[in-house]
Structure 1
Amino acid sequence: MLCTWTLRPGVRSAHRALRASGLPCIARRQLMGFVRNALGLEPPPSPMDPTPENRFHPWDQSPVDALRERAARIKTLAKCPVTGLNVEYTCPLSGIPTHHSREAWEQDTQYHATKRYETLKKVNIYEHDLRSGRPFPEFDFPQEQGYDKVVNMTNWDLFFYTRGFYSMDTEFQLAAVTKMLSYPVTIASLLAQFSPYSLNPKGPITLEGLKSLAAVRYTLYSQSFNNSARAGGVTTGGALKNRPMRLFVLGARAEAQLPGHVWKQLSYLFPEQSFEMVFIGPESYYDRARGQYVRSPTPVVEKVDETLKFIHYTDYFHVLHESQDFFPYDPYFDCFFTFHPGFASPENRDTWLSNTLPALLDTKCAIFTTGFDRDDLMNDVALLNEKFGSEMDILMEPTKNVFGSTKWELNDLNPHEVYQFNMYIAGFRGKRYHTIKR
């Protein structure tokens, strides 16, 4: 049984009709908003409601101090793609500093032909919306999921609908919420019984990937499995050992700063299982009181509730692995994630290749990694195949992440480069069965 938004019957019927129309989800939201207004079921829009018009300000003239400072930083650090000189001119279409001068802006035919300014404008208006001071009812997340209700994980739209989230009718609401939820829901979409990712050849999951995911899912759904077996007169083996599932996040930074109620969305989807979120890396613990990242010689533990705990290790994974802090590893209870790690990036390559990746492969547990875009992920996967091809199994071929963030981000060092968190995803694991020559 699917749960529904708390809408009036007339609106609910109109919403179902729109879903059957085949329109893209954003177009449906816009049309749905029109239907509600036409039927007089909602008050007139507030001047605080976000629109592209009332959220657009050139960053160097922004009413927000932080964005004026960011514009100044771009002008200090970025170079014009046409002249190679410092960026000094703010694009009038996007409101973001992009070129050295108006002449250089006009001469950049690629910039105009690709309409890059349209995406940059989205970066602009999303950042202003987050700092606008408007109410954010979309952050009022649902809590426990009823056992008689199924969550549809086909896409963001159906996930929000069947999970009972606030009805998000604008791109601004989607951008704000999906950026926060991308991390826990990406993990949930991989581990869930009704994952949107299917087996090859129709989907990206390989046979080895199915084996690893089946082990984790057996843990997550063991109680339901055993209840069903007993109801059918089948005697199952002993219950699984009672310990939390460990979800390791390597190179953690933003992920480790998400509030507990955001990560609880993962926990709510698997109510029979307790979790330990293990954040690892030099920037895995941010002390809000001191306003800085803190290194600790011992793990920093934060208990959200009885079913969810955060554990911050501020050293590198290979150091902890060599000291056997996490032994023994169990493919039924342990799973690893690296969110846009940049395995192939020049600044990170040596650390990953010489230390961390060999330690990761040694665990023999499933590892999933994401990238800012397709090229970012493909470079990482190519490096993995080149350096560890004979030592690993591919669990998930590179594919678009169903639950990537919809919010556009900007690289201040190159304002022409935009990206979204967790846009693509892949999986691998240390090889469990090696070929034997006879």
Structure 2
Amino acid sequence: MFLRTSVPVYRTTLLPRNAFNVAGNQTRHLMGFVRNALGLDPPTSPDDPTPENRFHPWDQSPSPDLRERAARIRTLARCPVTGKEINYTCPISGIPTHHSREAWEQDKEYHASKRYELLKKVNIYEHDLRSGRPFPEFDFPRDQGQDRMVNMTNWDLFLYTRAFYSMDTEFQMAAVTKMLSYPITIGSVLHQFSPYSLQPKGPISLEGLKSLAALRYTLYPMQNRLVISTTKARPMRIFILGARAESQLPGHVWKQLQYLFPEQTFEIHFIGPESYYDKDKKKYIQLTTPITESVDETLKLIYHTEYFHKLHEAQDFFPYDPYMDVFFIFHPGFASAEIGEHWMKDTMKGLLDTKCAIFTTGFTKNDLLEDIAVVQDKYGKELDILMKPTKNVFGSTKWELNDMNPQEVYQFNMYIAGFRGKRYPTIKR
């Protein structure tokens, strides 16, 4: 089982200084699209990242924080062959992995699976973020023109139809998709042109279709203008429980979600003790009252550092509305021995009580399957599955490393599933 508590979450991910420079409308270079379509290589530049110029052994890295991570791995991790401390850096990946060269050579599974190739990607992606190169891919587009349709089939078509900068390298895709994975995962589930279809061809159940239809009724009011609206005149609320890294994304990154639904206003509620990181004090802050940051008149980010079940018991969010409210939980660890019990008691009861749609992601397929199995085992009669565990079309393409086990690599939001508290039909007497 993939243990979430064994995966260090680095809240202040080092990004280039111009990473959050938001320009005006960006027109994706037509030539870049043509090159990609024809399989042609883009013109090279000395600044362009390559596996060769981004490779450095971590213990000899030009980046101090990667040298520190190498030292941390040596301190925390153990050799998978000998069980001893790690003192040897894999010459292929550049990351400390084994106790000695002999242990590295004896690790048949490591070489047979070619895990060093994924570890090397971790290495070069991290060095690229710290390289100081220009990062034009972080100049995000603004609102979508009414004459242009967004294609939610996959990352390539989404980025193209949203007029993002042409992503010509895996380095650019890795950097951008790690940030956008959170808002666009949400958007891809809720969007009318979602890549997830109804069973049996897709993962969405009939109950899932009902929940999504209710949410889309709110998200597309102009399409329902001939229908008498029963929704309240308030923003749609997106609750993100156990918020960590996602709560540190800048407002303009979350704004990409609102651009997908230009007729709707949103409140995004980040909930959990690690939901608010004070960049000046460089630590997490516990708030006595929520902090609200207004990105613009259509989007507010609201931070709550209390646990959800306490806010639920205090009725801070009442009333809930399945047409106006939805929950997302990224990598919760329901099945984790260390933190699972914190989720599976009052918090899960409160979530199911809302009768609103709940979507959750996992680092791997087994990771998510175990989470959903635990929820079903304990609350099976009280919930409906909305979305079977499936590959997340908009998972991050950037590979990450668990410092306590450098054999373990993962990607954020790789798989996704959904459920909801069961709605019982009204019985007339």
TM-score (norm 2): 0.91
Residues 117-154 of structure 1: CA distance to partner in whole angstroms, max 9, x if unpaired? 00000000000000000000000000011112110000
Match of 2:28? Answer: 5
CA distance in 2, matches of 1:175, 1:184: 15
CA distance in 2, matches of 1:434, 1:375: 34
Q: 1:287 aligns with which of 278, 291, 309?
A: 278
* 1:148 and 2:140 correspond: no
CA distance in 1, matches of 2:252, 2:49: 25
Q: List aligned pairs for 1:213-292, cutoff 5 A.
A: 213-226=212-225, 229=226, 236-238=227-229, 240-292=231-283
TM-score (norm 1): 0.90
Match of 1:108? Answer: 107
Match of 1:426? Answer: 417
Name the SS of the counterpart of 2:54 in structure 1.
coil
Match of 2:75? Answer: 76
Do the aligned partners of 2:231 and 2:324 also contact (CA within 8 Å) in 1?
no
State the Cα distance separating 1:201 from its structure 2 match. Answer: 0.3
CA distance in 2, matches of 1:78, 1:111: 16
CA distance in 2, matches of 1:85, 1:13: 52
Name the SS of the counterpart of 1:165 in structure 2.
coil
Match of 2:58? Answer: 59
Q: List aligned pairs for 1:152-231, cutoff 5 A.
A: 152-226=151-225, 229=226
State the Cα distance separating 1:408 from its structure 2 match. Answer: 0.1
State the Cα distance separating 1:374 from its structure 2 match. Answer: 0.5
CA distance in 1, matches of 2:83, 2:41: 47
CA distance in 2, matches of 1:330, 1:435: 18
Amino acid at match of 1:361: L
Name the SS of the counterpart of 2:345 in structure 1.
helix
State the Cα distance separating 1:238 from its structure 2 match. Answer: 4.2
Match of 2:7? Answer: none
Residues 28-59 of structure 1: CA distance to partner in whole angstroms, max 9, x if unpaired? 4xx252xxx4xxxxxxx222210000000000
Unaligned runs of 5+ in 2: 1-25
Compare 406-415 and 341-350 and name the one that shifted more.
341-350
Do the aligned partners of 2:27 and 2:165 also contact (CA within 8 Å) in 1?
no
Match of 1:25? Answer: none
| Percent identity (aligned) | 72
CA distance in 1, matches of 2:422, 2:231: 25
Do the aligned partners of 1:222 and 1:240 also contact (CA within 8 Å) in 2?
no
Distance change in 2, residues 1:374/1:51 (3 Å): same
Residues 261-300 of structure 1: CA distance to partner in whole angstroms, max 9, x if unpaired? 1000001110100000000000001111111100011111
More contact order relative to length (CA 8 Å, sep ≥ 6): 2
Amino acid at match of 2:361: T
CA distance in 2, matches of 1:365, 1:258: 25
Match of 1:23? Answer: none
CA distance in 2, matches of 1:220, 1:139: 27
Name the SS of the counterpart of 1:416 in structure 2.
coil
Match of 1:304? Answer: 295
Match of 1:120? Answer: 119
Name the SS of the counterpart of 1:218 in structure 2.
helix
Do the aligned partners of 2:353 and 2:421 also contact (CA within 8 Å) in 1?
yes
Match of 1:370? Answer: 361
Match of 1:348? Answer: 339
CA distance in 2, matches of 1:247, 1:176: 25
Residues 349-369 of structure 1: CA distance to partner in whole angstroms, max 9, x if unpaired? 111111211110010000000
Amino acid at match of 2:29: T
Do the aligned partners of 2:36 and 2:168 also contact (CA within 8 Å) in 1?
no
CA distance in 2, matches of 1:13, 1:405: 24
Name the SS of the counterpart of 1:336 in structure 2.
strand
Do the aligned partners of 2:58 and 2:94 also contact (CA within 8 Å) in 1?
yes
CA distance in 2, matches of 1:132, 1:72: 21
Unaligned runs of 5+ in 1: 19-27, 38-44, 230-235
Q: 2:304 aligns with which of 313, 318, 328?
A: 313
Amino acid at match of 1:343: F
CA distance in 2, matches of 1:77, 1:108: 20
CA distance in 1, matches of 2:171, 2:159: 15
Residues 321-357 of structure 1: CA distance to partner in whole angstroms, max 9, x if unpaired? 0000000000000000000000111111111111211
Distance change in 2, residues 1:192/1:319 (3 Å): same
CA distance in 1, matches of 2:401, 2:33: 37
Moved over 6 A (4+): none
CA distance in 2, matches of 1:240, 1:135: 46
CA distance in 2, matches of 1:146, 1:216: 23
State the Cα distance separating 1:241 from its structure 2 match. Answer: 2.4
Q: 2:398 aligns with which of 394, 399, 407?
A: 407
Residues 212-262 of structure 1: CA distance to partner in whole angstroms, max 9, x if unpaired? 000000000012331xx4xxxxxx314732110000000001110000010
State the Cα distance separating 1:7 from its structure 2 match. Answer: 2.4
The Cα RMSD (Å) is: 1.6
Match of 2:4? Answer: none
Name the SS of the counterpart of 1:301 in structure 2.
strand
Match of 1:40? Answer: none
Amino acid at match of 1:349: G
CA distance in 2, matches of 1:379, 1:239: 38
CA distance in 2, matches of 1:122, 1:312: 34
Match of 2:383? Answer: 392
Match of 1:339? Answer: 330
